[in-house]
Amino acid sequence: MAAYMSNSEKASKAPAGLPARKAALAILSDVLRRKRPLDVAVDDALAAAKLEPRDAGFARAIATTSLRRFGQLEALLLSFLDKTPPPHKAGPTLEILTAGACELLFLGVAPHAAVDGANRLAQADAKAVHFKGLINAVLRRIAREGEGRLAEQDARRLNTPDWLFERWLENYGEEAAHAIVHAHLLVPPLDLTLKRPDDPCTDLIGVLKLAPRRVRLEHAGRIEDLPGFAAGRWWVQDFAASLPAELLGPIEGRRVIDLCAAPGGKTAQLAFDGARVTAVDRSPARMARLRDNLARLELQANEVVTDAAEWPGGDGTFDGVLVDAPCTSTGTIRRHPDVAWLRQENDIAALTALQKRLLQKAVALLKPGGTLVYCTCSLEPEEGEQAIAALLAGEPAVRRAPVDAGEVAGLAEIITANGDLRTLPCHLPHADPRLGGLDGFYAARLVKS
């Protein structure tokens, strides 16, 4: 009934202590109440808690699985509650219930351990302590009746906000929309881009080769503990995310700029392929991550911390421009389940305005004859196909250069009728569902005349 579990989720079957559950609760409260991205909330909570790797994995599993299955868990809890405890009085009571139900139903934690852990969380909170009896009663009922209730749910629809599902129905059709939301329920594998094409990967367990220098791991565990991390042999990058940079073609010795570059996966690709790379990002913290990643990989780029759309330098001097534009990120829900609950449909308009500015800047940066690749990790056409259509209609200096399947590992199904790239989470299926899927990406290649 539950989704396939990662190593950290499997490890969570053994009871862990209160510190791990406190960290998970902090993460969920950060995401659901303060609307902070899951990755940021995880980093902050785990840094503050200073947990052992096993407990950190348990905390991460509770938070991530709770968000991946949040629609189901919320519906289930509401069916057991006469009324929802008001947050201003109940504090994190709902998050404690959500995490406890997740442990019971999706992480396989023993009922006595999950219920006791939730009670201890409530006892430690000045507001939730007044709802300790409710928490105990509801979770005990879920331990007895929860699996039967789950069997009656439509998991794919409950875990997808209506506005997203209706868009995907309209844009991709019923079959694809259902396949997308099903893919979001599966714990995604870990994809790596290898620094060297001749790396045998013999010390990595469960390796599936996707394309030259692209591999997928069935069993990942803690990334920093994997063979080759410290030596800089690879970097983490979803297979779909590795495709746009390839569309720039041969770039050795050429000047290429990566706009909105952090955390640096595409910058690393460009630098390894021999380009003279300028990496631009407005966030000092994210640029610090890029710098650390490049140092580990022993790769170099010229780093610029600024708003890419406003940067005054470099107009008309670059052979290639890669624009990985900020977007709703709805193509990454399989890896970032918080996106489904943090994004709203009205976010699209503000982001498309920014994407338009970035595209205009990218054209200005490009030499005549140079290549521009625009991409977003969004499933929404306004941030992909429609953005490029508007640029081509208003900018006579650029034309589309269609992508060939041979440039994207032979995956003809991800090439649109116009010759752009469009991946869906249900693409790249595998006989073992734990090894299938891609992030949803759009990419278009343009040439300046």
User: Are residues 16 and 51 part of one domain?
Assistant: yes
- The answer to the question of residue 182 being in a domain is no
Catalytic annotation, pick one of 102, 327, 377, 426: 377
- The answer to the question of residue 174 being in a domain is no
Render pLDDT for 195-215 as a digit per residue (tens, 0 to 9).
Answer: 998 999 989 988 999 999 999
User: Are residues 426 and 306 part of one domain?
Assistant: yes
Average confidence (pLDDT) over 37-63: 95
Report the candidate in 234, 316, 311 with the shortest Cα–Cα distance to residue 272. Answer: 234
Q: Is 377 a catalytic residue?
A: yes
* Residue showing tokens 């994190």: 92
Max distance between CA atoms of the chain, in angstroms, equals 70
- The answer to the question of residue 424 being in a domain is yes
User: Are residues 96 and 67 part of one domain?
Assistant: yes
User: Are residues 405 and 311 part of one domain?
Assistant: yes
Average confidence (pLDDT) over 155-165: 97
pLDDT for position 17: 85
Burial bucket for residue 92 (CB in 10 Å: 0-12, 13-18, 19+): buried
pLDDT higher than threshold 80 for residue 13:
no
Average confidence (pLDDT) over 23-51: 96
User: Are residues 437 and 360 part of one domain?
Assistant: yes
Dist. CA 445–CA 371, nearest whole Å: 7
Average confidence (pLDDT) over 123-128: 96
Percent of the chain's residues with pLDDT above 90: 90
pLDDT higher than threshold 90 for residue 133:
yes
User: Are residues 333 and 196 part of one domain?
Assistant: no
- The answer to the question of residue 168 being in a domain is no
Higher pLDDT pick, 6 / 357: 357
Dist. CA 441–CA 111, nearest whole Å: 40
CATH number, residue 430: 3.40.50.150
CATH number, residue 99: 1.10.940.10
Per the structure, the count of domains in the chain is 3
Average confidence (pLDDT) over 291-305: 96
pLDDT for position 192: 97
- The answer to the question of residue 368 being in a domain is yes
pLDDT higher than threshold 50 for residue 418:
yes
Pairing assessment for the beta strands 366-376 and 318-324 based on DSSP bridges: parallel
User: Are residues 443 and 295 part of one domain?
Assistant: yes
pLDDT higher than threshold 60 for residue 10:
no
- The answer to the question of residue 181 being in a domain is no
Percent of the chain's residues with pLDDT above 70: 96
User: Are residues 388 and 246 part of one domain?
Assistant: yes
Average confidence (pLDDT) over 220-238: 92
Q: How far is residue 362 from each of residues 260, 320, 365, 399, measured CA to CA in Å?
A: 11, 9, 5, 14
pLDDT for position 258: 97
- The answer to the question of residue 227 being in a domain is yes
User: Are residues 194 and 59 part of one domain?
Assistant: no
User: Are residues 274 and 391 part of one domain?
Assistant: yes
pLDDT band at 16 (very low <50, low <70, confident <90, very high): low
**Domain ranges, residue 371:** 238-448
Average confidence (pLDDT) over 253-259: 97
Render pLDDT for 344-377 as a digit per residue (tens, 0 to 9).
Answer: 999 999 999 999 999 999 999 999 999 999 999 9
User: Are residues 367 and 228 part of one domain?
Assistant: no
User: Are residues 299 and 216 part of one domain?
Assistant: no
Render pLDDT for 422-447 as a digit per residue (tens, 0 to 9).
Answer: 999 999 999 998 899 999 999 999 99
Report the candidate in 99, 39, 23 with the shortest Cα–Cα distance to residue 65. Answer: 99
Residue ending a domain, choose from 158, 182, 201 = 158
